[in-house]
């Protein structure tokens, strides 16, 4: 699996149902107002947008977002936090009287985190990966989770030829649960076969924004700093082992 998400959704009710009914493009002014509310003190500059299907994992420093009456969507790597219960207070406070859904997963480390708040109250939060185990587990499991905890969705391990099978560190694959969580909470999936009633996420357009801390380094400055660090680094040195066991420097590879 290659799925990655960093997604927040604010909604006046059931998210999948509301996303199915958004219809036309979101209002830009309304979306900008939302962005300024959720990113206070940041510099916000509009850039090229993306669709919801591909916009749930934007580049760092970029946010894909849209605000419709009743539902607001934000794709941002900054919400990919190990413990969803520690989501910044102002982001939770913005969900007063509404439902807030967080969904984050990263295929490289097989990590999943999701959470749901109702009127600012945390109802459920789960974060886990095979390397870290269960990082956070708050509230009662939601219906779509139950087959996984019951052992009905075991992790299938296919060992390399000649190697012995090692037990997986968790009773199920986080990314498999992550897809079911994304469908149940938001109405669509990243990988796998879409269901007939899934939200057509590719048809939902999001606006793009560069978001920068005015007191911190921007992407261009960060890149220049990294380039200077590389230039200031001494060239690599290579050694070989001599017959007497000592290291002898040699030229190149």
**pLDDT for position 244:** 61
Helix or strand holding residue 248 (H, E): strand 247-250
**pLDDT for position 88:** 97
| C-beta of residue 124 within 8 angstroms of C-beta of residue 138 | yes
Number of domains in the chain: 1
| C-beta of residue 122 within 8 angstroms of C-beta of residue 99 | no
111: tokens are 């990590």
Residue for token pair 């420097």: 249
**pLDDT for position 164:** 55
List the pLDDT tens digit at each of the 253 positions of the chain.
479 999 999 999 999 999 999 977 899 999 999 999 999 999 999 999 999 999 999 999 999 999 999 999 999 999 999 999 999 999 999 999 999 999 999 999 999 999 999 999 999 999 999 999 999 999 999 999 999 999 999 987 554 445 555 678 899 999 999 999 999 999 999 998 999 999 999 999 999 999 998 876 555 555 665 566 556 655 655 445 556 655 556 665 4
**pLDDT for position 225:** 57
Domain that holds residue 143: 4-250
Report pTM: 0.82
**pLDDT for position 214:** 85
In 4-143 the beta strands, taken as DSSP E runs, fall at 4-11, 43-51, 62-68, 71-75, 99-106, 111-118, 121-129, 133-138
**pLDDT for position 233:** 58
Helix or strand holding residue 240 (H, E): strand 238-241
């Amino acid at each position: 699996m290659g799925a990655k998400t960093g997604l927040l959704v604010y909604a006046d009710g059931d998210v999948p149902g509301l996303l199915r009914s958004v219809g036309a493009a979101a209002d830009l002014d309304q979306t900008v107002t939302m962005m300024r509310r959720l990113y206070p003190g940041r510099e916000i500059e509009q850039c090229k947008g993306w669709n919801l299907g591909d916009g749930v994992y934007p580049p760092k420093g970029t946010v894909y977002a849209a605000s419709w009456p009743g539902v607001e969507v934000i794709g941002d790597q900054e919400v990919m936090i190990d413990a969803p219960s520690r989501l910044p207070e102002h982001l939770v406070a913005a969900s007063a009287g509404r439902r807030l859904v967080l969904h984050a997963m990263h295929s490289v480390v097989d990590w999943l985190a999701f959470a749901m708040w109702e009127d600012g109250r945390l109802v459920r939060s789960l974060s886990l990966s095979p390397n870290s185990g269960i990082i956070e587990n708050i509230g009662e499991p939601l219906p779509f989770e139950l087959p996984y905890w019951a052992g009905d969705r075991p992790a299938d391990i296919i060992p390399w030829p000649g190697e012995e099978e090692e037990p997986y560190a968790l009773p199920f694959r986080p990314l498999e649960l992550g897809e079911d969580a994304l469908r149940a909470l938001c109405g669509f999936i990243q990988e796998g076969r879409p269901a007939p009633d899934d939200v057509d996420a590719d048809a939902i357009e999001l606006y793009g924004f560069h978001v920068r801390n005015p007191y911190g380094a921007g992407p261009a400055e960060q890149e220049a700093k990294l380039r200077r660090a590389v230039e200031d680094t001494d060239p690599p040195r290579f050694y070989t082992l001599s017959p007497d066991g000592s290291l002898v420097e040699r030229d190149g590879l």
